[in-house]
Structure 1
Amino acid sequence: MASNSPAPEGIEIQEPPTAGAWGEWNPTEDTVRPVRGKHRVAKQRGGLARSSTVLGVGVIAAVGASGIATAQDRPQVAISLPSLPGLVTGDNDRQGDGASGQEAEGERGGTIGIIAQQADRGADPGELLRNRILQQADAQHEAAEAKARAEAERAAQVASAQEAKDKLEAARQAAEEAKAQAEAKAAQEAEAARKAAEAAAAQERPAAAAGSWSLPTSAYTLTSHYGASGSMWSSGHHTGLDFAAPTGTPVKAVGAGKITSAGWSGAYGYRIVLQLEDGTEVWYCHLSSMSVTSGSVGSGDTIGRVGATGNVTGPHLHLEVRKGGSTMDPLAWLESKGLDV
């Protein structure tokens, strides 16, 4: 609050100009000057502060009066609102669309001009502005929804593409696994076939070769030896060596020679007679089939198959070794050739 204390002695205060002739007034040495002559007194302590207070009150009053006068003299400022598309009239008809709407806005100045036109026709300006704002909000809401739908569709497309990619990758992996399984199965079958071929070749080869000699068959069991007695043999004793084996087991030539006889021979069933180079005869009896019936053969060649023809109790090879018309022990003879029977 400004103080109403009197001005200190020695200071002359000029009156401010009237409101009609007002200008910017700033206290200076010319407006505030000491009194000349015998009335000059010494400055009292604290006087400057009281003078400043009084001057401040005067300045504020002067500025206020000047501001009021200036505001009254200044021209009015035009205020315009942004043009909002789609203004509706009192009967909800859209305005501002097409050439006619553009011409109206151009004539009256945007939204304010359109509202003014509608107001001239008796519509409520506040209601018109509210409707136009609501339309703009609806348009923004629809735009946001359209954007959200577009983003959702784009996300769905991305997800669909990723799903298709995943399915394609799964199908590729399944195809690779199926291919690997097929290759493994084919390899196993090939290995089994190779082993079977090797087994068949082993049967075709001499079962136990020693030099140029071969065992008469393979996978066998010796059942009846030479000289065994019994009523099953017409001579009262066994004249050969029996190799029990499954029907169809290959029968080999024990050495190089030639086939001198092949055919049915009574109690011997189907028989092949192999004559070796030194004149020794080897009889192969009870055969199921004969592969070679004449001509020369080499050691280990297949000449027939084990069977059960003739006077037998089961499939086996009855092997006899004869020299000079007399039989000899086939086991001893084979072992003399270096064969492990």
Structure 2
Amino acid sequence: MASNRPAQPTSFAPNDTQTFGYAYGKDEGPWEEWNPTADSVRPVRGRHRVSKQRGGGLARSSTVLGVGVIAAVGAGGMATAAPGKPPVSISLPDLSSVTDSAKALISDDGGSSAPKGSATPLTSAGLTSADASEGNQDAGEALRARIIQQAESQQDQVDKAAQAAAQAAAAKKAADQAAKAEEAAEAKAAAAKEKAEQEAKEKAEAARLAELAKSFALPTSSYTLTSTFGQAGSLWSSGYHTGLDFAAPTGTPIKAVHSGTITEAGWSGSYGYRTILTLDDGTELWYAHQSSIGVSVGQKVNTGDVIGRVGATGNVTGAHLHLEVHAGGSATGIDPMAWLRSKGLTP
């Protein structure tokens, strides 16, 4: 080992034959004082066992062990000097705290006696300026804080999305309900309007028919309806009834339903005595089975004028007026009941 530089003289110097109470022989000492330095103390090269890190402790290495040994030797006082040279005192700082710390951190069995749960951070690697400004001194705690913050942020986004979806669904539901209510109101208003229009139309038609009825009259009075239009039976040569029968006593007056012109008056086979009244619109009214005729062909008559008498002539089973209506002079008649009602009359 290389020799050290001479130490400065001290206030005390033991004799040549004694160093710290040790007497050396004739052929021994005095030895040169060993003052360890960074150059003289070198770590042993090669593979070293590194203990497993436990809790908050540090990894043990031979370098740390060497420092502990040096501290222990230095704390013991002064080393002996080489023979022939005066002993030199060694003044070293108090390394007891370092030694105690090393002993506490490192044990021979590779374990660590450092207390678990130490508040001292393992490392500051990975800490950002933002973490430091928030008071985080431990990289693990800083990472944990960032993870929690990110999770809270993501949960907040999920909550906001759910709230927005709920609000959108509520708005859509309200809009649908409003649309349905509006449609129902419109339908109700339309129905009410249609009903009002229908009622107004019916009222106007009733007024028109009432006014029209003033110019029309039923063909006879004190009657009973016996056979209606279209009624089937063997009594009629066509197989069905072609008019409307007003049963009344013989001699009951027969009236002109509306003003017009007499176009036929006389005997007509199965109709017996028949009178045809042609209205201004071309409609023909046939009065059959009369007991007598009171008008002549070409005569103008007005509504309510007597044109004959009820009888039982022709193909009949009793006294009655057989009335037929032929629109536009057609050979085929129409329902006299419907025609009379269209003129405001109710047989």
TM-score class normalised by the smaller sequence: 0.3 to 0.5
TM-score by length of 1: 0.38
Higher helix share: 1
